């Protein structure tokens, strides 16, 4: 009697935070789906369902545990692979940022989007906020989401993607004009990690947690902002066209938008 060996991938070494971690995970996960492997990412425990600090710390524990005891874990896995148990299960400990399988994240978008969707375990106030945005769409408006990324972007890559309010206001006005030509009213949502509220000519400012801001962007019809996995993730998981502003002289138009493949 022969046994088919099962293969398990464990993503033990996370990279970045929030949406960076989600993108890291789906590329390994897509590889496993394509090859019929099992996949487990313990570092995401608590993050997808927003169940609070305690479960998030469980995910942190797994990450740091693998870092501090990585040598011992890899040695134990090596011994396991040499034992008779390897006839039944092959274990692979993986991590890192550079592993990519773009064709597969596109192929398995529907399944991955469902698996990695953010739960709506949020407060009544936050639920009311999301409901009001949904009502705007139901009333026929085009919802444009603008990600005003500040904070670390003042120094990242020499501040090349750090834009002021006037810059965003100009792009919002131009996109309003173009979108309104489609015969619908335009409603603009701004999400920002800035410590002070931006003033970009928006209709609604969402300065909530990353979790709620991400859910807001996923309700939009179009998303624009500087290069960031935050906008890319909303585009990928909700199949929303996005455009990244990569140059201060860039002109964003509807032809600039595309949907992230993963």
Tell me the mean pLDDT in the region 145-152.
91
According to the model, what pLDDT value does residue 126 have? 79
Q: What is the pLDDT of residue 53?
A: 46
| Amino acid 37: pLDDT | 94
pLDDT of 80 over the 80 cut: no
Name the percent of the chain lying above pLDDT 70: 81
Q: Is the dihedral of CA 48, 52, 58, 59 positive or negative?
A: positive
Position 99 scores a pLDDT of: 92
CATH 3.30.1330 fits 124-256, yes or no: no
Residues 6 or more apart whose Cβ sits within 8 Å of residue 196? none
What integer is the mean pLDDT of 142-165?
90
Q: pLDDT category, 185, cuts 50, 70, 90?
A: very high
Which is more confident, 176 or 208? Answer: 176
% the chain with pLDDT above 90:
42
User: Would you kindly state where each structural domain of the chain is located, as residue ranges?
Assistant: 6-115, 124-256
Per residue in 194-250, pLDDT tens?
878 889 989 999 887 888 899 999 999 999 999 999 999 999 999 999 999 998 888
Helix, strand, or coil (residue 31): helix
Query: Buried b / exposed e across 186-213, counting CB within 10 Å, b at 16+?
Result: bbbbbbbbeeeebebbbbbbbbbeebbb
- Predicted local distance difference test score (pLDDT) of residue 61: 67
Per the CB < 8 A criterion, the answer to whether 62 and 45 are in contact is: yes
Q: What is the pLDDT of residue 57?
A: 64
| SS3 of residue 125 by DSSP | helix
pLDDT at 193: 83
Average pLDDT, the chain: 84
In this structure, what DSSP letter does residue 258 have? B
Token match 């120094």: residue? 155
pLDDT tens across 2-25, in order?
456 688 898 988 888 889 999 999
């Amino acid at each position: 009697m022969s046994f088919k060996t099962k293969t398990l991938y464990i993503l033990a070494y996370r990279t970045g935070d929030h949406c960076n971690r989600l993108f890291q995970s789906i590329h390994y996960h897509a590889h496993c789906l394509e090859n019929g492997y099992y996949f487990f990412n313990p570092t995401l425990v608590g993050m997808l369902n927003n169940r609070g600090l305690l479960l998030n710390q469980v995910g942190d524990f797994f990450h740091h545990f693998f870092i501090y005891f990585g040598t011992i874990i890899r040695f134990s896995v090596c011994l396991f692979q040499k034992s008779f148990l390897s006839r039944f299960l092959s274990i692979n400990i993986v991590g890192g940022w550079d592993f990519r399988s773009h064709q597969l994240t596109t192929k398995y978008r529907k399944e991955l989007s469902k698996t990695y969707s953010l739960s709506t375990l949020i407060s009544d106030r936050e639920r009311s906020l999301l409901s009001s945005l949904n009502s705007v769409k139901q009333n026929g408006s085009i919802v444009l989401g603008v990600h005003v990324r500040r904070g670390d972007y003042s120094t990242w890559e020499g501040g090349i993607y750090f834009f002021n309010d006037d810059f965003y206001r100009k792009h919002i006005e131009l996109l309003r004009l173009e979108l309104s030509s489609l015969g619908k009213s335009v409603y603009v949502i701004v999400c920002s990690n800035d410590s002070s509220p931006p003033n970009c000519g928006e209709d609604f400012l969402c300065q909530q947690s990353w979790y709620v801001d991400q859910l807001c962007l996923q309700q939009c019809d179009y998303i624009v902002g500087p290069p960031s996995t935050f906008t890319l993730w909303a585009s990928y998981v909700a199949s929303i066209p996005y455009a990244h502003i990569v140059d201060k002289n860039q002109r964003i138009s509807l032809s600039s938008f595309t949907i992230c493949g993963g």
